[in-house]
Amino acid sequence: MSQELPKRLFKPGEETQVSQINNNCRMVLYLKRLEEWLPKELNEVKKDRVFAPIFKLHENGLGYSARVIHSFLCRELVTYKTHELWFVFARRALRFSLMEYHAVTGLECDASLSLKEPVDWEDDGGFWSLVIKSNKGISMLELWNKHRLAVKKWSNADRIRLVYLCIIVCMVCARDQKANIPIKYIKLVMDLEKVRKYPWGVASFDLLCESIGKTRDNLKEKTTSYVLDGFSYALQIWAMEAIPKIGKLCGRKLNKSFKNGPRCVNWMGAAKISYQELIHLENIFTPTMRSRFVNGDDAGETGDDDDRGTEAADEDVSGQGWKRRRHKAHEGGEAAAASKEAHGSCSGGDPEAGSRDDGVSGQGWRRPGALRYENGIVEGIPMIAAAYIAFGKTLSNP
């Protein structure tokens, strides 16, 4: 008998529906403001590769789908791992970890790099130096409302720092625009080389996971709306990549043969999709569980038409049409591997099972066939769809 998946946040069919998510990632709003406010400085920052995928995502115009994000949050599996979340769709366990986050965003996701606040910074007597020394803090909304004209008189260095901070606190590590900008980030932008070396992927991913954790109680209370911090676009694009049919409903790929580079730069579209479409899609892909005998005496009783239905569902989810093994060999099949992997995420899993893979999950195990993540680079192929990781697959073009 195969193991069951970990406990779900909601039982199948009991997922809630919200009217909106108050998304603190205000990419469209603040890039538009920067284009009006500091166009020359914005163009200068765009030349820096560190946040180039964010600018490209905005340029392509991919819409934000609160329904896709909320639907997956309701399908979360209750697990306990560092830098890693698990979800389920059509009974398939899907992993969303630093590896997938890096592949989607291109941001630095090397968890071995320090997230600590810089100790040393150069006091140049400018606006940001005064903010650091006063330690009072200032919000992005306050800057826009009270210092919009005064910014023009700042030094060029301070104006460029403002653009970097806007990208960081309003998009990559998005928080409420009324909240004070963390002093740590202000110290970082005092030296742009430190900005380029900082693991923004880790900081951004952790903030998103922390915010998802805070929303769990709200979800159970069947709220009609809630706030989500962090770069939640990444979760949406991950879902579009892991389940290509969702991607087709939300938008389209600019290059179908795209392989190298962050996946967020290869999508455009309005991302208009209904809860009913997502539910219908999951119902189509959910495999029909049929009993099969190990001795093979009844292995031929199920006709070819039934098998085609199950295989077609796998093709739509994976984008590659790989077929699951028959249930008579279920103990050694992909479903068992997925279940075992997901169970390893739960408290009570065997921490010594398999070789360590701390660079990927923080405390995870090496997946069969999964690629290594070293020095901020996914080795071998640029993207691993979570559906393949769950089943031990390493397909290069989902």
As a whole number, mean pLDDT of residues 331-351 equals 40
H-run or E-run covering 72: helix 66-73
Q: Tell me the C-alpha distance between 194 and 117, whole Å.
A: 11
- Given a cut of 50, whether residue 302 has pLDDT beyond it is no
- Half-sphere exposure in the Cβ direction for 93 (13 Å, CA): 31
* Integer angstrom CA distances of residue 24 from 32, 123, 170, 342: 15, 31, 7, 30
Among the listed residues 268, 249, 250, the one whose alpha carbon sits nearest the alpha carbon of residue 258 = 268
Q: Tell me the C-alpha distance between 233 and 396, whole Å.
A: 22
DSSP line for 254-318: S-TT--SS-GGGGEES-----HHHHHHHHHHHSPPP----TTSTTTTSS-HHHHHHHHHHHHHHH
pLDDT for residue 374: 36
Return the exposure string of 332-353: e unless at least 16 CB atoms fall within 10 Å of the residue's CB, then b: ebbbbbbbbbbbbbbeebeeee
- Given a cut of 80, whether residue 136 has pLDDT beyond it is yes
What are the counts of helices (DSSP H) followed by strands (DSSP E) for the chain?
18, 8
- Given a cut of 50, whether residue 172 has pLDDT beyond it is yes
SS3 36: helix
pTM: 0.74
Do 337 and 324 contact (CB within 8 A), yes or no? no
Do 290 and 301 contact (CB within 8 A), yes or no? no
Q: Tell me the C-alpha distance between 8 and 22, whole Å.
A: 24
pLDDT digits (tens, 9 = 90+) for 210-244: 999 999 878 877 778 899 999 999 999 999 999 99
